[in-house]
Amino acid sequence: MTTAGDGKPISTIVIIIAMQTEALPLVDKFRLTEDPDSVFPNGVPWVRFHGMYKDLQVNIIWPGKDLHLGVDSVGTISASLVTYAAIQALKPDLIINAGTAGGFKAKGARVGDVYLASDVAFHDRRIPIPVFDQYGIGARQTFSPPNLLKELILKVGKLSTGDSLDMSPHDETSILANDATIKDMEGAAVAYVADLLSVPVIFIKAVTDIVDGEKPTSEEFLQNLVAVTAALGQAVSQVVDFITGKCLGQL
Q: Which is nearer to ligand SAH, 2 or 208 (CB)?
A: 208
Q: Which is nearer to ligand SAH, 10 or 98 (CB)?
A: 98
Ranges within 211-230 binding ligand SAH (CB under 6 A):
211, 217-218, 221-222
- Any contact of residue 208 with ligand SAH (CB under 6 A)? yes
Q: CA–CA separation, 5 vs 47, rounded Å?
A: 28
Using the rule CB under 6 A, which residue among 113, 119, 171, 184 binds ligand SAH? 184
Amino acid 31 reads: R
Stretch of residues binding ligand SAH (CB under 6 A), selected from 105-113, 151-159, 169-177, 209-217: 209-217
Angle subtended at Cα 76 by Cα 74 and Cα 82, rounded to the nearest 5 degrees: 80
Residue 12 phi, psi dihedral angles, 5° rounding: -125, 125
The reply to whether 214 belongs to the active site is no
- Any contact of residue 185 with ligand SAH (CB under 6 A)? yes
The reply to whether 209 belongs to the active site is yes
Write the CB contacts of 45 (distance below 8 Å, at least 6 apart in sequence).
63, 64, 65, 66, 67, 73
- Any contact of residue 183 with ligand SAH (CB under 6 A)? yes
Q: CA–CA separation, 32 vs 226, rounded Å?
A: 20
CB 95 within 8 A of CB 83: yes
Stretch of residues binding ligand SAH (CB under 6 A), selected from 93-101, 126-134, 192-200, 241-249: 93-101
| 22, 124, 186, 220: the active-site residue | 22
Q: Which is nearer to ligand SAH, 222 or 226 (CB)?
A: 222
Nearest approach in angstroms of CB 218 to ligand SAH is 5
Which stretches of the chain are assigned E, i.e. beta strand?
12-16, 33-34, 47-53, 56-62, 94-103, 114-122, 140-141, 155-161, 182-184, 201-210
Q: CA–CA separation, 120 vs 191, rounded Å?
A: 8
Catalytic residue numbers, as ranges: 22, 209
- What residues make contact with ligand SAH under the rule CB under 6 A? 18-19, 72, 74, 99-102, 165, 183-186, 208-209, 211, 217-218, 221-222
